[in-house]
Amino acid sequence: MYSEFFGSLPGGGDLGSHDVHRVTLERDGVRARVLTYGGVLQSVEVPDAAGTVADVVLGLPALDGYLAHPGPYLGALVGRYANRIARGRFPLDGLIYHLEQNNGPNALHGGAHGFDKRVWAAQAAGEHGVRLSRTSPHGEEGFPGRLDVSVTYALEPGGALSISYEAVTDAPTVVNLTNHAYWNLAGAGSGDAAKSHEVRIDAARMTAVDDDLIPTGELRAVDGTRFDFRAARVPGPGHDHNYVLDKGVTDEPVPVAELRDPVSGRVLTVATTEPGLQLYTADHFDAGLPFTPGGGIALETQHFPDSPNRPDFPSTVLRPGEVFRSRTVYGFATA
């Protein structure tokens, strides 16, 4: 791995003034780049069936672009709570905690200054990895407890990209972390080619949602609906939903999904310890981005949206003395 200067955040405001670096990882024909700003996965370069290499992650060439277009969370490390929390509040141990409502009436992806807007400390994690870390203080964006977080990006033998999350707290809190990469296996500069990608997800149910994309509590069967991806198919537009993975929570990553580009032959596989996966077809990109709506597909491994308000969902509560651990592996192949 090697690190290079990528830019500086402007001084003042909540973020302060910080230098941002870009770390490059290379192994077995795969090259990945990670920013210390927001833990952003800026690029992943992999070969197609003919050996032609292309970047398959939607990223921006300069820091200014990420600052100007925060809304899509391009490649960002999302927390302290990925996805939505209804009405920006949740109960925990008899207290009600109030969060910023930055997505209509709801809290989204940790708030306006979540983990995706912070500069992370970086250190080498072996020859082919980088460990990002930061401390989220008690009360940051309304969340209780100090949270010490580390996220390790590493290229495994064969070039698979592993993302390992770990966190501890000094007070009861909730945690749900993910990476928000958008994948276009035809190449990030290929326009809307991702619209022809085929998706497969090992999930017989999804979390039904209301008009604000908040779960109703129903785990709805996908059989016979447009949400059924148990056999690979092109999803079409209009997807921003959490799938209840058949495997549930596991100690080690289990294969759960696949994204396939029939033209280039590139195949992305997803294995995770998490119980859920959010499929988002990127129908709404900020004006000014060099990507068209539908230009990438996000496959966000996670716990379910609004779990802090749904005791029947897998718990996202973390208590002192416990260690939050999560791991997702993105594999690359050709067919």
Alpha-carbon gap, residue 180 to 199, rounded angstroms = 17
What does the DSSP 8-state code read for residue 308? G
Choice among 21, 128, 300, 303 that is catalytic: 300
Choice among 21, 69, 128, 180 that is catalytic: 180
What distances in angstroms separate CA 220 from CA 22, 98, 230, one per listed residue? Answer: 42, 29, 14
Q: Is 112 exposed, middle or buried (0-12, 13-18, 19+ CB in 10 A)?
A: middle
Alpha-carbon gap, residue 183 to 303, rounded angstroms = 21
What does the DSSP 8-state code read for residue 50? T
Alpha-carbon gap, residue 57 to 158, rounded angstroms = 18
**Structure tokens given for 253:** 């990553």
Largest CA distance in the chain: 59
The pairing of strands 95-98 and 89-92 is antiparallel
What distances in angstroms separate CA 151 from CA 76, 182, 256, one per listed residue? Answer: 12, 19, 21
Alpha-carbon gap, residue 113 to 123, rounded angstroms = 23
Kindly give, in sequence order, each residue whose CB lies less than 8 Å from that of residue 39, ignoring residues fewer than 6 positions away: 76, 77, 115, 116, 120, 132, 151, 179
Alpha-carbon gap, residue 59 to 127, rounded angstroms = 24
Alpha-carbon gap, residue 137 to 330, rounded angstroms = 31
Residue listed under structure tokens 């495997």 = 247
Whether 284 is a known active-site residue: answer no
User: Strand, coil or helix: what is 88?
Assistant: helix
Beta bridge mates, 167: 149, 324
Q: Give the residue numbers marked as catalytic.
A: 180, 300
